[in-house]
Amino acid sequence: MLSITKSLRVRLPGVSPAAIGGTLATRLLATGMSFAAGVIAARALGVEGRATFAVMISVPSVLSIVTVLGVDNANARFAGTSHTAFRQIVRWSLVFSMISGSALAGLWLLLAHLWPPVLLGVPYWLALLVAAMCPVSLLTTLLGMAELGRGRVAMYNLLSTVPAAGYLLGVCGLSAAGSLTPTSCFLSVLAGQLVCATMLLIASTTRVHADGEPVAARTFGSFALRSYLPNLIHYGMLRLDVPVIQTLAGATAVAVYAVALPLAEGLLLLSTTVALVMFPAVTSGAVDARAAAKIARTVFVAAATTAVVAAAAAPLLIPAVYGQPYSGAVPVIWAMLPGLVLFSAARSVQPYLAAAGLLRPVITGTVIGAVVNIALLVALTPHHGAVGAGAADSAGYLVFAVLLVLGVRRAVRARRRHRAEYTGDEAPARVPAGRLSVKAVGDLWRAACSRLGKPVLADRALMIRAGLLTVTGVGCLATVFSPALSAAGAAGAAMLVVVVLALIPEVGLCVLGAAIPLSQSDLGNWLITPSVLVALMLVCLLGRVIAGLGIARPKPLSVLITVGTVGYMVTTSVLIGDADPMAADKWQYLLLMCAPLMLLPLVAEPGRALDRALLVFCGGSVVVALVDIVRIGSVFAAKSSLAAADTAVLAITQEGAANHNAAGALFVMAAAVLLRRYPTVRGRLLRLATGAGVVVLALGVAYSLSRAAYLAGIAVIVLYAARRSLRGVLATSVGAACLLPLLPAAIAARFDSILGGAPDVNSAVRLDLWSSALRMFEAHPALGVGYLNFAHQLPAYYQATGDYEVMLLQFPLLHFAHNTYLTVLSQTGLVGTLGIGSLVVFGLRRAWRATRTGDPAGEAALLAMVGAGVCSLFGEVLLVPPLLAGLMLIVLATKPAPADRPVAVAR
C-alpha cells in the first residue's frame, strides 16, 4: 500500500492522492446511486416516461450552468483566502442564486407561455416545478465549490452525495408504493437538492480561516467571467444534446441517449476530480508546468484503460441492467468514447492554464470544438438518432483536445522566444518553489517545458496518434459487436479525415472544391450531402486556426448585413406562418442554407490556396459533366423510338438522377471560370486542357436538359464575347448556329420549347407558382409569409390557369416558386429582399472592381454571377447550399481593388 501511495505521489505531483481518491470515491458513490435510481425509473416508467423525466431534470441543470457565470470557479478560488472573504462569498451566492436562477427560469416560463414548443413536451404545470428547482440547484453548486475552495474536501465530498441519495431513496420508496411517475421522480430529486442546500448553509457557519481582507468585487467578477465560457461549453456539449435530440429525433432517441449519458460522464469523473483538487493547488503554487504535464499523462492512461473496459463491457451490461429496449445505447457509448479519452487528458491541465494566464488556447479550442459538435449534431441526429449525437460529441471533444495541445504549444514557443531575448542580468529570476504564486506560474511554464522530453501536453504527434488509435480501436470493436453501428463507424472514419484536413488547410479547401460538383452527380449526391459540405467548411476554419493563419476578415458592413439577413431569415421562419416551427427538416435546411453565408467568408480569401481550390472545383465539374453526357446519351440511344420531347423528359426524371437544373447551373459557373482563365494559361498542354474543359462543360450544359442553363450559358458567352470585340460576338453566334443541327433531337426539342409553342405542363405549373408568389407578396409585402413557409401557404394562394389536374400537385413538396427572386420576395418580403439584395450588390461590386483592374478572377466571378442570375429566373439554384457555396468561392477569389489603384482596360 505504501508503494502504491508513493507511486501515485510521483505520478500526481503537487496534489494529494488521498484527496483525489476521496473525491473520486464520493463521486462514484453518487454516480452509482443515480445509476441505480435511473435503472429503477427506466424500468418502471418506460421509454416515453423516461424521456419526459430526462427532459425535466436536464432543464434545471442547463439553466444553472448558463446562469452561474463562472461564480462557482471564483468561489473555489477566493473562499480560502480568509473567513471574511468566505462569509462574503456565501452572501453573494445566496443573492446571486435567487436572482439569477429565478430570472432565467422565469424567462423560460414566459417563452413557454408565448411559444409552447420551448417546453420540450413537458406540461406547463410540471414546468413550474422545474423552474422552482433552478435557484436551488444553482445554490448547491455555489456553496459546494466554496467549501472545496477553503479546503474542506471531506465536507464537500459528504454533502455532494446527498442529492443522489435523496433521488435513490425517493425512487425506491415510490416504486415500493406503486406510485412511480415522472412527476414523483422529479419531486424526489428536488427534495434531495433542498436537503443538500440546507446542510451547506449550516456547514458555512463553521470557521476555518482567520478573518482577513474581503474580496474585491471587480477581482471576483473578472476571474468568474474569464473561467465561465470554457466550462459552460464543455457542459453543454453533453447536456444540451437532450433537448436537441428531442427536437430532431424524438423521445425514443432521447431515452437511449439518456441511458448512455451517465456512463459517458463516468469516464470524465477522474479528470473532473483531478481538476477540482488541482485548482486550489495551482493557485497556491503547489503545481507547476511539469507537474501539470505529468498529471495529464497519468489521467490519459487511466481514461484510455477505462474506455477499453467500458467498450468491452457495454454490450453485456446495458441489456442486462436496463433491459433489451435500451440496447441501442451501446453504440452510443462506443461513439462517445474516443473524444472523451482525449478530453479527459486536456481537461486535467485546464485549471493550470487558467491560473497561468494561458486562456486563449482554452477558449479557442472550446469554441471551435463546440461549433463542430453543434454542426455534426444537426447533421447526424436526424438520420442516425442518438448514435449520431454521440459521434458529434466525440468529434467536438477530439477537436478541443487537439486545439488545446497545439495552442499551448504555440503559446509556450512564443514565450520561450520572448525569454531568449533576455540576456545577462535582464533574465527573469527563478521564483523559489516555496514562494510560487499564480503570477510566477507563467514564467515557470517556460522553464519547465524546455526540460520536458515529450509529454502529452507538448507532443502534438503523440496526441494525434493516440486519438487515431482510439478511434480505430473503438470502430473495430463496434464492427465486431454491432453491425448496426455503421453510422458511428462512418463518423470515426470522418474524424480521421477531419484531423488530416485540419492539419493541412490547403488540402481542406481543395477537398471542399471537389465535393461541391460531386454533390450534384448521380453517384455523389448521397455521399456529399449539404451537411457534409458544412462540415468541410468547419474543417477549413479549424485548419486555418491550427496553422496560425487566423480567419479571413471580411468588411464589417458586409458582415453586419450577412448576420442581420441570416438572423432575419431564421426569425421569420420560426415566428411567421402556421407551419411547425420545430420541424427537424426545416431547421436542418435553414442551418445548412445559412452556413455558406456565415462560414465561407471566414475561410476563403484571395490567394494561391483558393485558386487551386477553384481549379479543383472546375476539374470536378468537368468530370461530372462527362458522366452526365454518357448517362444522358445512353438514355437517348435506348429510347430512340420515343418522341424527342418525351425522351428528354424521361432522361431528367430517372429514378436516382440528380437535379438537372442544379447540374446545369454548376456547369455554367465552372465554364465561366475556365473560359476567363483560358487566355491567361501558359503552356500548350495546360491551355489545351483548359479549352477541352470549356468544351466538355458546354456539352454538359446541353446534356443537362435544363432550359434555364441554356439561357444562362448563352448569356455568359455573349457577355464574354461582348467585352472583347464585335468580331467575337459574330464568331460566337455563327459557331453556335452551326453546332445546333449537330445536337441530339431531344436537346433540340428542349431548345424549341424555349423559342415558342404552347407551354408544357411543367411550364404551366411554373407560371402558376409565380403568380401565387406574387399574391403572397401582395398579402404580406413587408415581411413575407416566412422563409420556408411557402409550401404551407401555397394552397390558399394557388390558382390554376393551365390545362392540368391540380389534384395531382403535391403542395407539401413545393417549397419554392421556381424563381429565386419571387421566392425571396414572397417568403421574406421587402425587408429580406433588401438584405439579400445588398449581399448580391456587394458581390457584383467586388467582381466589377476586380474586373476593371484586370484581375481574371474578377471577370470570372462576374460571368458566373450573371449565369447564376439567369438560372435563378427559372429555379432556385442559389437556394441549393452546394451551388451557393460554389458561387461564393468564385466571388471570394477576386482581389478587392483599392480605390486609388489604376484601372486596367480589358482587352
Per residue, the 3-state secondary structure of 814-850, as one string, reads CCCCCCHHHHHHHHHHHHHHHHHHHHHHHHHHHHHHH
Backbone angles phi, psi at 457, to 5 degrees: -70, -30
DSSP assignment, residue 100?
Answer: I
Helix axes 289-322, 17-67, angle to 10 degrees: 70
Q: Which one, of 192, 63, 49, 35, lies nearest residue 130 by Cα?
A: 63
Q: Exposed (0-12), middle (13-18) or buried (19+): which is 754, by Cβ within 10 Å?
A: middle
| Average pLDDT of the residues in 578-603 | 66
* Neighbouring C-beta atoms of residue 326, cutoff 10 Å: 21
Residue type, 497: V
Residue 567 predicted with pLDDT over 70: yes
Q: How confident is the model at residue 865 (pLDDT cuts 50, 70, 90)?
A: very high
Q: What is the pLDDT of residues 717-775, one digit of tens each?
A: 888 887 776 665 566 666 666 666 667 777 877 777 776 655 667 777 878 888 888 88
Which cell is 751 given? 431548345
Task: Judge contact between 326 and 255, C-beta under 8 A.
Answer: yes
Output the CA–CA distances (angstroms, integers) from residue 552 to 186, 557, 600, 607, 851, in the order listed.
48, 15, 9, 12, 22
Question: Dihedral of CA 694/699/701/707: which sign?
Answer: positive
Question: Rounded to whole angstroms, how far apart are CA atoms 636 and 695?
Answer: 20
Task: Judge contact between 861 and 868, C-beta under 8 A.
Answer: no
Q: What is the dihedral of CA 855, 856, 862, 866, to 10 degrees?
A: 170
End-to-end distance of the chain based on CA atoms, in angstroms? 86
Question: Rounded to whole angstroms, how far apart are CA atoms 471 and 295?
Answer: 23
| Average pLDDT of the residues in 506-513 | 80
Task: Judge contact between 589 and 572, C-beta under 8 A.
Answer: no
Task: Judge contact between 358 and 299, C-beta under 8 A.
Answer: no
Q: How confident is the model at residue 27 (pLDDT cuts 50, 70, 90)?
A: confident
Which cell is 29 given? 458513490
* Concatenated DSSP letters of 423-475: -GGGSPPPPPGGG--HHHHHHHHHHHHHH-SS-TTT-HHHHHHHHHHHHHHHH
pLDDT value at residue 412: 58
Higher pLDDT among residues 341 and 485, named by residue = 341
Higher pLDDT among residues 417 and 165, named by residue = 165
Question: Rounded to whole angstroms, how far apart are CA atoms 510 and 612?
Answer: 7
Q: Exposed (0-12), middle (13-18) or buried (19+): which is 425, by Cβ within 10 Å?
A: exposed
Output the CA–CA distances (angstroms, integers) from residue 865 to 57, 377, 817, 860, 886, in the order listed.
51, 33, 20, 9, 11
Give the count of alpha carbons within 13 A of 230, CB side only.
26
3-state secondary structure of 900: coil
Which cell is 895 given? 482581389
Helix axes 153-160, 162-177, angle to 10 degrees: 20
| Average pLDDT of the residues in 170-183 | 81
Q: What is the pLDDT of residues 47-106, one digit of tens each?
A: 677 777 777 777 787 777 778 888 887 887 788 778 888 888 888 888 888 888 888 788
The per-residue b/e assignment along 874-906, b for 16 or more CB within 10 angstroms, e otherwise, is: bbbbbbbbbbbbbbbbbbbbbbbbeeeeeeeee
- Tally of residues, the chain: 907
Question: Rounded to whole angstroms, how far apart are CA atoms 214 and 212?
Answer: 7
Q: How confident is the model at residue 442 (pLDDT cuts 50, 70, 90)?
A: very low
| Average pLDDT of the residues in 855-864 | 88
Which cell is 368 given? 471551435
Q: What is the pLDDT of residues 522-535, one digit of tens each?
A: 766 667 777 777 87
Which cell is 713 given? 450559358
Listed in sequence order, the residues at least 6 apart from 897 whose beta carbon sits closer than 8 Å to its beta carbon are 849, 850, 852, 853, 855
Residue 372 predicted with pLDDT over 70: yes
Output the CA–CA distances (angstroms, integers) from residue 513 to 536, 597, 606, 875, in the order listed.
10, 16, 14, 23
Residue 350 predicted with pLDDT over 60: yes
Which cell is 273 given? 476530480
Question: Rounded to whole angstroms, how far apart are CA atoms 93 and 106?
Answer: 19
DSSP assignment, residue 906?
Answer: P
| Average pLDDT of the residues in 203-217 | 83
Alpha helices in 639-725 (DSSP H): 644-652, 660-677, 684-703, 707-722
Residue 365 predicted with pLDDT over 70: yes
Q: How confident is the model at residue 900 (pLDDT cuts 50, 70, 90)?
A: very low
Listed in sequence order, the residues at least 6 apart from 307 whose beta carbon sits closer than 8 Å to its beta carbon are 267, 337, 340, 341, 470, 474
Residue 430 predicted with pLDDT over 60: no
Which cell is 325 given? 429496449
Residue 899 predicted with pLDDT over 70: no
| Average pLDDT of the residues in 544-559 | 70
Of 142-156, 380-394, 471-485, 855-869, which range is least confident?
471-485
Question: Dihedral of CA 717/720/723/725: which sign?
Answer: negative
Q: How confident is the model at residue 471 (pLDDT cuts 50, 70, 90)?
A: very low
Task: Judge contact between 720 and 863, C-beta under 8 A.
Answer: yes
* Concatenated DSSP letters of 204-245: TTS--S---PPPPHHHHHHHHHHTHHHHHHHHHHHHTHHHHH
The per-residue b/e assignment along 93-115, b for 16 or more CB within 10 angstroms, e otherwise, is: bbebbeebbbebbeebbeebeee
Residue 777 predicted with pLDDT over 50: yes
Question: Rounded to whole angstroms, how far apart are CA atoms 460 and 212?
Answer: 45
DSSP assignment, residue 504?
Answer: S
Output the CA–CA distances (angstroms, integers) from residue 780 to 111, 324, 477, 817, in the order listed.
26, 53, 57, 16
Question: Rounded to whole angstroms, how far apart are CA atoms 428 and 116?
Answer: 61
Q: Which one, of 538, 271, 230, 464, lies nearest residue 364 by Cα?
A: 230
For the chain, percent of residues with pLDDT exceeding 90: 1
Residue pointed to by grid coordinates 434545471: 60
Residue 458 predicted with pLDDT over 60: no
- pTM score, two decimals? 0.52
Q: Which one, of 539, 531, 476, lies nearest residue 505 by Cα?
A: 539
Higher pLDDT among residues 383 and 428, named by residue = 383
Residue 714 predicted with pLDDT over 80: yes
Q: Which helix H or strand E contains 264, and what residues bound it? A: helix 251-267
* Neighbouring C-beta atoms of residue 660, cutoff 10 Å: 24
| Average pLDDT of the residues in 680-686 | 81
Residue pointed to by grid coordinates 451547506: 200
Alpha helices in 523-680 (DSSP H): 530-546, 556-575, 584-603, 608-638, 644-652, 660-677
Output the CA–CA distances (angstroms, integers) from residue 526 to 413, 520, 523, 535, 538, in the order listed.
44, 9, 7, 15, 20
Residue 644 predicted with pLDDT over 50: yes
Question: Rounded to whole angstroms, how far apart are CA atoms 534 and 514?
Answer: 14
pLDDT value at residue 276: 73
For the chain, percent of residues with pLDDT exceeding 70: 73
Higher pLDDT among residues 174 and 14, named by residue = 174
| Average pLDDT of the residues in 836-855 | 87
DSSP assignment, residue 797?
Answer: H
Which cell is 156 given? 464537500
Which cell is 78 given? 477566493
Q: What is the dihedral of CA 727, 730, 736, 741, to 10 degrees?
A: -130
Q: How confident is the model at residue 475 (pLDDT cuts 50, 70, 90)?
A: very low
Per the prediction, the chain carries an average pLDDT of 74
Q: Which one, of 693, 780, 703, lies nearest residue 743 by Cα?
A: 703
